[in-house]
Structure 1
Amino acid sequence: MTPPDDRTHPQYFATHWGTWEAVTENGRLTGVRPWAGDPHPAMIGPGIVEAVHHPSRIRRPAVRRSFLEKGAAAERGSRGAEPFVELPWDEALDLAAAEIDRVRRSHGNEAIFGGSYGWASAGRFHHAQSQVHRFLNCAGGYTASIDTYSYAAVSALTPHIIGHFRKLMLDQATSWDSIAAETELFVMFGGLPLKNAQVNSGGVGRHTARAALRAAHARGCRFVSIGPIRADTMPEIGADWIALRPGTDTALMLALAHVLVREDLHDRGFLARCTTGFERFLPYLMGETDGQPKTPAWAAAITGIPAEAIAALARRMAAQRTMIGLAWSVQRADHGEQPAWMAIVLAAMLGQIGLPGGGVGIGYGSENGIGNPVRPFRFPALPQGQNPVEAAIPVARIADALLDPGGTYDFNGAQRRYPDLRLLYWAGGNPFHHHQDINRLVRALQRPETIIVNEIWWTPMARHADIVFPTTSPVEREDIAMTHWEPLIVAMRQAIPPEGEARDDYAVFAGLAGRLGLEAAFTEGRSAEDWLRHLWDQARQRAAEAGFALPGLAELRAGGPVSLPGPERPAVLLEAFRADPEAHPLETPSGRIEIFSERIAGFGYDDCPGHPVWLEPCEWLGGAEAARFPLHLVSNQPATRLHGQLDPGSVSRASKIAGREPITMHPADAAARGLAAGDVVRVWNARGACLAGLRISDEVMPGVVQLATGAWHDPERRGEPGALCKHGNPNVLTRDKGSSRLGQGPSAHTALVEVARLDGPPPPVTAFDPPELLPRR
């Protein structure tokens, strides 16, 4: 496949981190230029140039050597370490189709897991997750995953207490222009890291958060950033930094609430009119039920924040138009539901929910889209069809499912059973970035009979596959980026030919469908170009019904990105509900904000009772484990790539120290260990160990180290669980434990470690070296 010949206009393409113009020469990508309408282009962007042609690209279909010889009877313990044999496309497709057919006939479609959680493409058609799920549904269905690693705990919680998370808290979030115009105090639990706001699922047109925060600051809004990392808030807004011991946000919020009640600063009228259950929460808050009032002095011992500072903050919040923000990172922890619930309760006690610039938001800065105006219609997407298989697992419980087939677990009020998964099909994602306790994941990946992966690069997941199909990058295919969170529509042009023998996911699944007699159902007789025209026709129709006129596809491709007009007035979360709770009830059992939830209480979970509480994390600096591992690990999102994407690219690699992911440590902690900046250090706990390059800065509080996720897992001995990661992937250290029985979300930010200088020369980093590739005999 070669690029279309209508190259007379700039060739734009969209990514999850921005919109770019491709610069090419002799069929190669040589540079990218950001779209002129983006005021703050992401630093990630140029990293794609080197990555597209990197030696880690998968260029031909490949099969694990012993799997080619023995099929599903092959030894599984060598996954991740074995050489691969490169095959012709037809032979590889025949093999994969036969495996899918064998498993569904012998074990049923419940035995097939449609993995593919990830951010594969900003394009509306070449979205790997949609493609694989459509294919598997055509083949009889699959075991699905529920929710996301990003916000699983809060997503399970909010329908019980305030409403559907995505529908309400994300799509109807108070908009940036309301915050810029009205907010007087922005209290940010977990900060508001603009490195995270570089990205947006479905594509980015304009990066908006920085300008909004600057406008609010210029008007006089003041900011308080609460968390262990000062750099989680941009310096231009002059935020007050309250250095909080990780995992103790709920204790701080309870103490703030205690001050509001003790000093009669809470809004009794709002609580009576718009909430339910405050009278059942109040005895716990004031210590009547457990003998411990949740005072600032009590919270000071837990959080490390002086009691006077806690009381002063509560008074500031009550005296001004206050927005409470909670970063998604805060709820990715043991008992992560509690700070999310308590943030909503605290905002309700202030009585500002539904007022311009006030209330609560969960996720500001976590993605660029949150706070942007939302389109009044949904853009079309590739239809996935109906999945007849009822089995589904929380996304962060995949290792549990593989290691305990048939085992039972609790989730969101129900007891469920893990299916017996025999075949995994992964497309467009890399669980070695998202999932916790990689050594446990490696053991789990030895269990299924067959693993098939569609990938662009030889990621750790691709290396653990039995069959690998090489797929195209966004600059090697045609697509359209359109998402309701962004005002920009981009015709993504194919700028260069596919690398090697790479094909798009649609071509892969169409080939498999044909071999299974499902081609008509999967393709509906359409080529990829036909589907793009079909989806664009649907988009034009929906836009017209909402009063927007969109150009024809040819005009879109020739004219460059299209901007849609914004709404007439700022969005305010729950404005209509506040004005008339009877006419606009919430989608909760009571129709109100539930400070006490009868439904959750009825589940009987001791790790998530009927109202928000302080529950001691399984690992934290105030616990017994800190005697062995005295540093709290924050494994947050990277600034130089999207999760693990583009790690082989120039921007990510330039951020490394001695070729390894940098770990940031406070000067006092470094001095206590005799460490110097630039040292290669060993980071370890009972779950595993990795190497990292040391960065020393007071941007992190004492007792905390920060090591971003996304460095490709690079074990010293491939295929061996427990091997030292030479590259610095923090998920060899994080705990694979559900946030609670309610949400079963990941708890990555609940982890303690120790750090020491590495003795002797460090081993070479081989994360980006492809596996040994053998010719077909």
Structure 2
Amino acid sequence: MTSSERDLLTATHWGTYRVDVENGRVTNLRGFEHDPDPSPIGPGIVDVLDGPTRITAPMVRKSWLEGGPGTAGDKRGSDAFVEVSWAEANRLVAAELTRVRSTHGNRAIYAGSYGWASAGRFHHAQSQLKRFLNCIGGYTGSKNTYSFAAAEVLVPHVLGTFRGHLDTTTSWESIASDCDLFVAFGGVPLKNGQISQGGTGAHVQKGGLLAAHKAGVKFVNISPLRADLLDRVNADWLPIRPNTDVALMLSLAHVLLNEDLHDQAFLDRYTVGFARFADYLLGKTDGIPKSPEWAADICEIPADTIRDLARRMARSRTMISTAWALTRQDHGEQPFWAAIALAAMLGQIGLPGTGLGFGYSAMNNTGLNRTPIHYASFPQGHNPVPDFIPVARVTDMLETPGGKFDYDGASYKYPDIRLVWWAGGNPFHHHQDLNRMRRAWAKPETIIANEWCWNALAKHADIVLPCTTPLERSDIALTPKDPYQVVMDRAIEPVGQARDDHEILRGIAAEMGVEEAFTEGRSPQDWQRWIWEVSRQQAAGQRVELPGWESLQRDGWVKVPVPDKPTVMLDAFRTDPEANPLATPSGRIEIFSQTIADFGYDDCPGHPAWMEPTEWLGAAAPDDLHMISNQPRNKLHSQLDHGAVSQADRPKGVEPMTMHPRDAAVRGLIEGQIVKIHNTRGACLAELRISDMIRPGVIQIATGAWLYSDGDLCRRGNPNVLTRDKGTSRLAQGPVAHSCLVKVETIVSKVPQQKR
């Protein structure tokens, strides 16, 4: 059987689907038959594949085309575009790359391209772009992610690795069989668990959560949002003040220490530096004991509740989960470090069902029992350019070329960027303080974007190269993060003149004389077969047999066997820390890190600590509210925001915003009103939804609305016009989107719907 003889398949970061096609058009995406909880996001692409937002030909910004590089950068976002041929587009890009390289060097090219792109292993836009740029001498890149940059830098100092532990998170099966109490800092938001990088075969988060509940596991949801944990598990809700989880964790640790409930034997064998941390808890270093009474004033959870929770955790088999969102705040390194220290004091790290986990339901693969296999990918080659930036420091880089920044113990300088090339992502979604970024975005001489639809990135580019969607090309979803490996069939012909990223870059490579280096003489189909065959060999080394290429194409998918034994994070270290040391200087858990202490950062000391955020309710004006801009439930970041699924959630054309009834009453607001959320950085519109599922003093609005600027106002409701753009600390320089104060007021009863 071939793809023409079976139902067509496609794979996305939010699920696997069967594809229905009639008369050359996709009519529906149906959930994969092996997925017990398919995501509704997928069908959102159907109505926009060939709709008015589709980019169907190469386009060049009019001012840039007429005046050349560097012309009228301030018109990006408002200037008209002129259609050109692919031959002309290839010539323009090749000539501009040659000019920038010869005049300023390859370090003047920034290929951040941060974003999720396609689930396909071959047609992964960033990999394609970076391979091409490495063929012509390299580029300035970025490090870490917007998701959890603070943890990516901090946790390796404490536990030896971060991503390694994400890949071995204690499985839901182990939690169901061996956990009594699941304490969720930031909750377990199932809407986030729809997603997994590289493709998702079967969604497990809801099933895992419900199975644990059925087995008798008790849950505690520590979040300003009650909806961060499914109602059906009957969790205790502690509506904490945003950004104060560290204070709560420290006070829980204080109770364990003060009441001799901590596991000193575990601390002695598996950790270093506890005595320094204990002195801080007791107030010996700063005169402030981190008692429940101290924390109650900060996080607004009663002292007795804190004390009772600490005792409950000590007498139970306890799992501590920390949401990734906790890292996206001022001093975002501290919540994960404090959680590690708290779990170490309980002494249950490495035991079945207990210890700690980083972000259950942050993605579908968290807690998924799976066989980690190192699959092959499209080789990117070597980048000889040493320059980089922490990923969330884009605006700083564009504003201050040559300026200094600290990162993980060293000092660096921002490069002088003349050309920006983005493929497979959208900085006008991920980044903070978008109005400031738009002003900095005017500075580079040329901006190139590979895009398939007219989102804010495309509108703010100089050269737009129209790329295909996964439904218009063949690929394979091949990921160690999921047991299902899926053929991605080409369901329809490319819309208009759209080309896949490999073909786009092959054309430019030919113009620059590096086509052979870029393609190695292989077609996209040849590369996909090569990736699969190399992956088969690597899987065989782990005693996993994958089918041949023809069998895979015939069947459409294969499921890699999962381990019989549930995964337990750090179990080998627990069993024998001498034989299985952590990759830390001591080989053990570093509750105090001499390495970090020696960096001398005033915003990240050598042990977990409470430091006030720059913006939080503890230092707010009377009419300020704390804004939580969390992940959407109807799209992945901003992908498919223009599609029917996302649009159905905002019939008035603006993103919904949730507010507590008390805050609405004080402001004279009513359900369904269009309101303006604003601060000194900007403003956005939103439709008010009133609920007691959010704590007073807090509002919630999801990210992902496409930026639609009217001055500094976003008329669709993108909250990143409001968020602050600064680093978490000098250690990691991560984003601090969740440290954000705003005001809310009435504007009009309704606003006209915007064209999609």
Determine if the TM-score, normalized by the shorter chain, exceeds 0.5.
yes
Partner of 1:413: 409
Separation (CA, whole Å) in 2 of partners of 1:657 and 1:437: 26
Count of aligned positions? 756
| Residues 2, 555 of structure 2: 8 Å contact kept | no
| Per-residue deviation, 1:32 | 0.8
Partner of 1:11: 8
Match runs of 1:22-101 below 5 Å: 22-101=19-98
Partner of 2:724: 735
Partner of 2:740: 751
Match runs of 1:227-306 below 5 Å: 227-306=223-302
Deviations 1:371-413 (A, max 9, x none): 1134342111000000000001000001100000000011110
Separation (CA, whole Å) in 2 of partners of 1:757 and 1:240: 34
| Residues 60, 86 of structure 1: 8 Å contact kept | yes
SS of the residue 1:683 aligns to: strand
Separation (CA, whole Å) in 2 of partners of 1:471 and 1:461: 14
| Residues 726, 764 of structure 1: 8 Å contact kept | no
Partner of 2:635: 641
| Per-residue deviation, 1:57 | 1.0
| Per-residue deviation, 1:760 | 6.7
Partner of 1:485: 481
| Residues 431, 720 of structure 2: 8 Å contact kept | yes
Separation (CA, whole Å) in 2 of partners of 1:665 and 1:657: 19
> Letter of the aligned partner of 1:8 in structure 2?
E
Q: Does residue 137 of structure 1 match 2:131?
A: no
Match runs of 1:195-594 below 5 Å: 195-594=191-590
**Structure 1 segments of 4+ aligned residues over 3 angstroms from their partners:** none
Separation (CA, whole Å) in 1 of partners of 2:692 and 2:554: 50
Separation (CA, whole Å) in 1 of partners of 2:170 and 2:686: 39
| Residues 134, 385 of structure 1: 8 Å contact kept | yes
Separation (CA, whole Å) in 2 of partners of 1:363 and 1:57: 35
| Residues 174, 361 of structure 1: 8 Å contact kept | yes
Partner of 1:669: 663
> Letter of the aligned partner of 2:339 in structure 1?
A
Separation (CA, whole Å) in 2 of partners of 1:546 and 1:72: 52
Deviations 1:168-214 (A, max 9, x none): x2112112211121111000000010100000000100101111111
Match runs of 1:706-725 below 5 Å: 706-717=700-711, 723-725=712-714
SS of the residue 1:587 aligns to: coil
| Per-residue deviation, 1:54 | 2.4
SS of the residue 1:396 aligns to: coil
Of 666, 674, 682 in structure 1, the residue corresponding to residue 676 of structure 2 is 682
SS of the residue 1:346 aligns to: helix
Q: TM-score, normalised by structure 2?
A: 0.99
Stretch of structure 1 that moved more, 367-376 or 316-325: 367-376
| Per-residue deviation, 1:53 | 2.3
| Per-residue deviation, 1:92 | 0.8
Gaps of at least 5 residues in structure 1 are: 718-722, 769-777
Separation (CA, whole Å) in 1 of partners of 2:642 and 2:750: 23
Separation (CA, whole Å) in 2 of partners of 1:716 and 1:629: 25
Deviations 1:614-652 (A, max 9, x none): 0000000011xx116510000000000000000011110
Q: TM-score, normalised by structure 1?
A: 0.96
Deviations 1:511-547 (A, max 9, x none): 1111111101100001111111111111221222222
> Letter of the aligned partner of 1:132 in structure 2?
L
Gaps of at least 5 residues in structure 2 are: none
| Per-residue deviation, 1:73 | 3.8
Separation (CA, whole Å) in 1 of partners of 2:495 and 2:438: 29
What's the Cα RMSD here?
Answer: 1.2
Of 189, 194, 201 in structure 1, the residue corresponding to residue 190 of structure 2 is 194
Stretch of structure 1 that moved more, 462-471 or 562-571: 562-571
Separation (CA, whole Å) in 2 of partners of 1:762 and 1:217: 44
> Using a 3 Å threshold, how does the CA distance of structure 1 residues 375 and 5 change in structure 2: closer, same or farther?
closer
| Per-residue deviation, 1:763 | 5.1
Partner of 1:773: none
> Using a 3 Å threshold, how does the CA distance of structure 1 residues 376 and 204 change in structure 2: closer, same or farther?
closer
| Per-residue deviation, 1:759 | 3.7
Separation (CA, whole Å) in 1 of partners of 2:317 and 2:477: 37
Of 172, 175, 179 in structure 1, the residue corresponding to residue 171 of structure 2 is 175
SS of the residue 1:551 aligns to: coil
Partner of 2:685: 691
Separation (CA, whole Å) in 1 of partners of 2:29 and 2:491: 11
Separation (CA, whole Å) in 1 of partners of 2:410 and 2:8: 50
SS of the residue 1:758 aligns to: strand
> Letter of the aligned partner of 2:736 in structure 1?
S
Stretch of structure 1 that moved more, 146-155 or 657-666: 657-666
| Residues 657, 693 of structure 1: 8 Å contact kept | no
SS of the residue 1:46 aligns to: helix
Task: Give % identity.
Answer: 57
> Using a 3 Å threshold, how does the CA distance of structure 1 residues 369 and 464 change in structure 2: closer, same or farther?
same
> Letter of the aligned partner of 2:538 in structure 1?
R
Separation (CA, whole Å) in 2 of partners of 1:154 and 1:337: 6
| Per-residue deviation, 1:456 | 1.1
| Residues 657, 678 of structure 1: 8 Å contact kept | no
